[in-house]
């Protein structure tokens, strides 16, 4: 397939250098072509010269891309801001800002695209960075340092922030602190963010809450827990958050080591998917009976080792899995009536892929 057949960009962040948990083989940020009619991936340009651009977030108009630089603070951990020229399929770095901590592993934008939320995994520090009128980072920064730990002495010796995501109503941001086994909610203000959490939700001890995903209607969310290999559901009612249910995302007969990674909800809101590293699978979850009655539909092989992230294309017809340790992308068809996944393409080679994001290309 040629790039001329693509109607979307599939943007991929990678590990380019080695950290204790990964051997980086990536080249940088890839701008791949994707055909939403056939599910085919095609080669595209790579932006090189940035260290470990692992997690990405893209503005709603597709013109700004923000990437973490996942390294230690003393090695210049940062957030890089790029102009994304969709038509030319190119990136131009416009600005950089410190991440204000070590190993930033997630970055997100608020609804108005006036603030960046940065989760520094190793130091447990949450940074809110105000953006200017051109959506470039400023020196107006609010830092929140989490303290404490939990029951796992090797993984939870201190706070470890894995994600900070604004709520659909734009009133709050929820932080997943895997080291504390807690979800912390902070109120957003016109001037920035309140520095004291107005809600703290305890997860099961040692479960390691990693990422959350809001339902399309904004009424609730799911949380994936890395060490317990579970997904929990919550309902948002006014200013309250209520636990609804949960389930294991591993088969009952599995007795090996595994750790959960990514979680995404289908655009229809009828299904969710979660990735297992070790079992090396994608678990399909049924949401059709509501957040209080989750059930597992089944599992499919991730076609590689350590499925770190995956993405559902905007049409809801395809799911693309990035297997970090197998340097591979695999494409699956989604049955939009049943949630079943069927393998379409087992291999697209790419070094240590981490984060996947779609952008629509201009209509020719």
SS (H, E, C) 19-51: ECCECCCCCCEEEEEEECCCCEEECCCEECCCC
Cα 212 to Cα 31, 167, 198, 349: the distances in Å are 26, 11, 18, 28
Residue 140 belongs to some domain of the structure:
yes
pLDDT of residue 362: 77
pLDDT for res 91? 97
3-state helix vs strand vs coil in the chain, percent to 5? 0, 55, 45
pLDDT (0 to 100) of residue 327: 98
CA separation for the pair 78, 80 (Å, rounded):
6
Three-state secondary structure call for residue 5: helix
Q: How far is CA 19 from the centre of its chain?
A: 19
Q: Which pLDDT value is given to residue 270? A: 98
Within-domain flag for 98: yes
DSSP state of 115: E
Q: Alpha-carbon distance 226 to 276, whole Å?
A: 9
Contact predicate 285/332, CB 8 Å: no
Q: Where would I find the H helices in the chain?
A: none
Q: Is residue 293 part of a domain?
A: no
Q: Please state, in angstroms and rounded to a whole number, the distance separating the CA atoms of residues 38 and 333.
A: 10
Q: Is residue 83 domain-resident? A: no
Is residue 250 one of the residues assigned to a domain? no
pLDDT value, residue 297 = 98
Torsion sign across C-alpha atoms 23, 251, 291, 244: negative
Check which CATH number belongs to the domain holding 171 and give it: 2.130.10.10
pTM: 0.96
Q: Are 212 and 176 in contact (CB under 8 A)?
A: yes
Residue 304 inside a domain? The answer is no
Could you tell me if residue 176 is inside a domain?
yes
Tell me, what's the pLDDT at 229?
Answer: 98
Strands 295-301 and 90-98: unpaired
Averaged pLDDT, groups of 10, the chain, 364 residues long: 76 96 96 96 96 98 97 98 95 98 98 97 98 98 98 98 97 98 97 96 98 97 98 95 98 96 98 98 98 98 98 97 98 97 97 97 70
pLDDT for residue 361:
86
* DSSP per-residue string spanning 315-347: TSSEEEEEEGGGTEEEEEEE-TTT--EEEEEEE
DSSP code of residue 288? T
Domain count, the chain: 1
Which H or E run contains 11?
Answer: strand 8-14
The answer to whether residue 336 is domain-embedded is no
Containing structural domain, residue 100: 93-206
H or E stretch including 295? strand 295-301
């Amino acid at each position: 397939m040629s790039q001329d057949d693509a109607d979307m960009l599939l943007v991929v962040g990678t590990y380019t250098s080695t950290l204790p948990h990964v051997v980086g083989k990536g080249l940088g940020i890839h701008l791949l072509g994707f055909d939403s009619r056939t599910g085919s991936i095609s080669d595209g340009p790579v932006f090189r010269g940035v260290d470990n651009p692992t997690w990405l977030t893209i503005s709603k108009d597709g013109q700004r891309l923000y990437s973490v630089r996942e390294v230690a603070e003393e090695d210049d951990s940062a957030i890089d801001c790029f102009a994304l020229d969709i038509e030319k399929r190119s990136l131009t770095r416009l600005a950089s800002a410190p991440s204000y901590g070590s190993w930033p592993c997630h970055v997100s934008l608020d609804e108005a695209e006036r603030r960046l939320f940065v989760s520094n995994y190793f130091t447990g520090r949450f940074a809110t960075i105000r953006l200017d009128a051109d959506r470039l980072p400023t020196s107006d920064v609010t830092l929140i340092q989490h303290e404490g730990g939990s029951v796992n002495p090797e993984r939870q010796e201190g706070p470890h922030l894995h994600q900070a995501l604004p709520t659909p109503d734009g009133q709050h941001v929820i932080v997943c602190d895997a080291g504390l086994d807690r979800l912390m909610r902070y109120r957003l203000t016109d001037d920035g963010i309140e520095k004291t959490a107005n809600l703290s939700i305890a997860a099961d001890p040692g479960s390691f809450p990693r990422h959350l995903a809001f339902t399309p209607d904004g009424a609730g969310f799911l949380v994936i827990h890395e060490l317990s290999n579970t997904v929990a559901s919550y309902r948002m009612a006014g200013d309250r958050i209520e636990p609804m249910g949960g389930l294991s995302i591993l088969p009952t007969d599995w007795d090996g080591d595994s750790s959960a990674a990514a979680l995404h909800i289908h655009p229809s809101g009828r299904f969710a998917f979660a990735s297992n590293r070790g079992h090396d699978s994608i678990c399909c979850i049924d949401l059709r009976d509501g957040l209080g009655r989750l059930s597992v539909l089944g599992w499919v092989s991730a076609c590689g080792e350590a499925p770190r992230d995956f993405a559902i294309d905007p049409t809801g017809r395809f799911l693309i899995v990035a297997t970090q340790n197998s340097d591979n992308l695999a494409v699956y068809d989604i049955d939009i009536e049943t949630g079943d996944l069927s393998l379409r393409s087992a291999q697209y080679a790419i070094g240590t892929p981490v984060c996947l994001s779609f952008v629509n290309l201009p209509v020719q």
